[in-house]
């Protein structure tokens, strides 16, 4: 492991700090981008956060951003000139988009997804495409066809997943902000494992057009950042009403950072006891209890509550998400794009061969689970039942938010585990998502912030808000961040 470089203040600065340096003419976007590209070259052999780095495009974007920052053309935004990463399940025009799957290697999309378009319009500098679990299916980034991502805090450990490249990249200073997707915790859990901020907004706030679909009723794009303020800024840029996504919600959109300084004094915050699961790491539990004390010291009213259906959330999720995935991934037929295999006699045999060769084990497992749950004779017992329990889980949250402004939980029952530790036991891997999954089932906003350390590894603290309570979770998370210094810890890399 390398020692902390002299430039670490720069690499670990927040996007707001970098933006202020642009305004003060201390550094240009081109200089910042070149510096980050050098750091990416130096760190990638040990981290593997990126699948594709688009250096030339990034420099060209930065040149445009510098002109905009100097006052020519459009008014700059909070992200103008800021080097960012997007997860490789975001469709990017003319840049290979793989979802970390062999079935899409070499696929060059003819269009940008809405979030990528919004980032370009805002003047952000896109450095490249972040590594992920194949089709975002995984909690450790080990299912990527491009190899695992290594956690910058300990490269023998996973960064979490599925947005593992995004979290590792932000933690290691390989970008200033990353954009990931979260279907059952895929932004928040890796953010927790890598000691950065990660937010899953309310379902519908950010367009999914151009996000390679996994579980369409659960998927949501969100930012991974080094501060809560950067998270609010980034959400302000990427949230939109999009006619190309029928689940996209209508405006008006608020400034998600408008209450960021309001604090938590007098706020009622519930602690659902079911999230403190058996088998939770002692270090995670201790960090969580210390965080509750911090929130109390800040004037929040903390009380225990119960969400008994949490015990069924894992089953609901692992029926609904694979069911939706099995339908969404039926488009990969080896005909119009992606891997083609032509040793079969018929079109159907060619498709079976392409899918058999192109999908990895975890993706196949989920397609099989979903296909089974949707098949004749099992639909009512699995898929319909899960959707009904989903209704009850939503009601349980709705009732809880009559009493509480927000809920607080650990983000994950463990810290980052060793690469290889859980990959052979799918159910153990699924259990890792227990604290994040219920939020997607109910479509709620949730943010994970650095909330302590355990044996040298970051612990995440998760705030959950009511539907469209995105400003509330940002407000609570920011108050916690101001009172602690966990977010100022950086890996020695």
Partner 1 sequence: MDPLTPKDVEHIAQLAYIKLSDEESEDMRIQLTNILGHFASLSTVDTDGVEPTGHTTDSNTVMRQDEPKPPLSQEEVLRNAPDRDGEFVRVRPVLE
Report the catalytic residues.
87, 162, 186
Instruction: Tell which one of 38, 348, 403, 455 touches partner 1 (CB under 8 A).
Output: 348
Instruction: Tell which one of 19, 68, 157, 355 touches partner 1 (CB under 8 A).
Output: 355
Cβ neighbours around 384 below 10 Å, total? 14
d(CA 419, CA 154): 10
C-alpha distances in Å from residue 334, one per residue of 101, 106, 323, 363? 13, 13, 21, 16
Classify residue 334 by its DSSP letter. Answer: S
Residue 106 structure tokens:
């070499």
Q: Of 319 and 461, which has the nearer Cβ to partner 1?
A: 319
Q: Of 170 and 464, which has the nearer Cβ to partner 1?
A: 464
| Site membership for partner 1, residue 428 (CB under 8 A) | no
* Closest-CA residue to 244 (of 85, 115, 154, 119): 115
Place of tokens 């997804």: 113
Work out how close the CB of 207 gets to partner 1 at its nearest, in angstroms, rounded to a whole number: 12
Instruction: Tell which one of 57, 273, 285, 365 touches partner 1 (CB under 8 A).
Output: 365
Place of tokens 């250096």: 55
Work out how close the CB of 176 gets to partner 1 at its nearest, in angstroms, rounded to a whole number: 31
Instruction: Tell which one of 48, 351, 412, 446 touches partner 1 (CB under 8 A).
Output: 351
**Contact characters 286-315, partner 1, x per CB under 8 A:** -----------------------x-xx-xx
Contact predicate 191/198, CB 8 Å: yes
Instruction: Tell which one of 215, 222, 272, 334 touches partner 1 (CB under 8 A).
Output: 334
* Closest-CA residue to 240 (of 332, 140, 136, 116): 116
Cβ neighbours around 374 below 10 Å, total? 18
Work out how close the CB of 329 gets to partner 1 at its nearest, in angstroms, rounded to a whole number: 9
| Site membership for partner 1, residue 387 (CB under 8 A) | yes
Place of tokens 């899409």: 104
**Contact characters 98-137, partner 1, x per CB under 8 A:** --------xxx-xx--------------------------
Work out how close the CB of 430 gets to partner 1 at its nearest, in angstroms, rounded to a whole number: 8
Binders of partner 1 among 181-220, rule CB under 8 A? 203-204, 217
**Contact characters 237-276, partner 1, x per CB under 8 A:** ------x--xx-x---------------------------
Work out how close the CB of 406 gets to partner 1 at its nearest, in angstroms, rounded to a whole number: 18
| Site membership for partner 1, residue 20 (CB under 8 A) | no
DSSP one-letter string for 103-132: GGTT---SS--HHHHHHHHHT-EEEEEE--
| Site membership for partner 1, residue 434 (CB under 8 A) | no
Work out how close the CB of 180 gets to partner 1 at its nearest, in angstroms, rounded to a whole number: 20
C-alpha distances in Å from residue 259, one per residue of 56, 441, 478? 39, 26, 9
| Site membership for partner 1, residue 346 (CB under 8 A) | yes
**Side by side, which strands form the sheet with 177-182?**
50-53, 125-130, 83-87, 177-182, 220-225, 197-200, 446-454, 457-464, 406-410, 268-272, 301-305
C-alpha distances in Å from residue 488, one per residue of 82, 151, 235, 366, 376? 20, 17, 22, 38, 53
* Closest-CA residue to 273 (of 247, 302, 314, 306): 306
Work out how close the CB of 283 gets to partner 1 at its nearest, in angstroms, rounded to a whole number: 26
Which range, of 222-230, 286-294, 379-387, 478-486, touches partner 1 by CB under 8 A? 379-387
Which range, of 76-84, 187-195, 266-274, 387-395, touches partner 1 by CB under 8 A? 387-395
Q: Give the distance from CA 232 to its chain's centroid.
A: 15
| Site membership for partner 1, residue 384 (CB under 8 A) | yes
Contact predicate 292/270, CB 8 Å: no
| Site membership for partner 1, residue 25 (CB under 8 A) | no
Binders of partner 1 among 458-487, rule CB under 8 A? 467
């Amino acid at each position: 492991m390398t020692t902390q470089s002299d430039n670490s203040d720069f690499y670990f600065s927040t996007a707001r700090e970098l933006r202020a340096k642009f305004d003060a003419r201390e550094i240009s976007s081109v200089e910042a981008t070149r510096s980050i590209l050098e750091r990416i070259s130096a760190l990638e052999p040990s981290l593997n956060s990126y699948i594709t780095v688009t250096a030339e495009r990034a420099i060209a974007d930065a040149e445009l951003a510098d002109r905009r920052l100097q006052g020519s053309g459009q008014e700059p935004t909070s992200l103008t000139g800021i080097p960012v990463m997007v997860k490789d399940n975001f469709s990017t025009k003319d840049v290979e988009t793989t979802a970390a799957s062999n079935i899409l290697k070499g696929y060059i999309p003819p269009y940008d997804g809405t979030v990528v378009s919004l980032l370009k319009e805002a003047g952000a500098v896109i450095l490249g495409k972040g590594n992920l679990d194949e089709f975002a299916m995984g909690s450790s980034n080990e299912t990527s066809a491009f190899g695992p991502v290594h956690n910058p805090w300990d490269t023998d450990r996973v960064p979490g997943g599925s947005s593992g490249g995004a979290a590792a990249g932000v933690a290691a200073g390989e970008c200033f902000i990353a954009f990931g997707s979260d279907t059952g915790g895929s932004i928040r859990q890796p953010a927790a494992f890598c000691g950065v901020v990660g937010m899953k907004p309310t379902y519908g706030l950010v367009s999914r057009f151009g996000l390679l679909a996994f579980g369409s009723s659960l998927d949501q794009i969100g930012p991974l950042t080094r501060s809560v303020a950067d998270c609010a800024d980034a959400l302000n840029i990427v949230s939109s009403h999009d006619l190309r996504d029928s689940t996209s919600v209508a405006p008006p959109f608020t400034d998600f950072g408008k209450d960021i300084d309001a604090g938590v004094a007098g706020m009622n915050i519930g602690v659902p006891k079911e999230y403190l699961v058996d088998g939770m790491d002692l270090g995670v539990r201790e960090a969580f209890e210390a965080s509750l004390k911090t929130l109390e010291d800040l004037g929040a009213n903390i009380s225990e509550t119960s969400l008994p259906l949490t015990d069924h959330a894992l089953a609901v999720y692992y029926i609904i998400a694979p069911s939706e995935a099995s339908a969404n991934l039926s488009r990969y037929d080896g005909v119009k794009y992606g891997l083609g295999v032509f040793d079969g006699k018929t079109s159907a045999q060619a498709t079976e061969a392409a899918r058999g060769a192109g999908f990895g084990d975890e993706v196949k497992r989920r397609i099989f689970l979903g296909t089974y749950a949707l098949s004749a004779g099992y639909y009512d017992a699995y898929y319909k039942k899960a959707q009904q329990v989903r209704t009850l889980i939503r009601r349980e949250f709705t009732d809880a938010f009559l009493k509480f402004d927000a809920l607080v939980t650990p983000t994950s029952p463990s810290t980052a585990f060793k690469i290889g530790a859980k990959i052979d036991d799918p159910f153990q891997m699924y259990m890792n998502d227990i604290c994040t999954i219920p939020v997607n089932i109910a479509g709620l906003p949730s943010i994970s912030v650095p909330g302590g350390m355990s044996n040298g590894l970051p612990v995440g603290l998760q705030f959950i808000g009511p539907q469209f309570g995105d400003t509330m979770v940002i407000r609570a998370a920011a108050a916690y961040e101001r009172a602690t210094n966990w977010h100022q810890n950086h890996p020695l890399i």
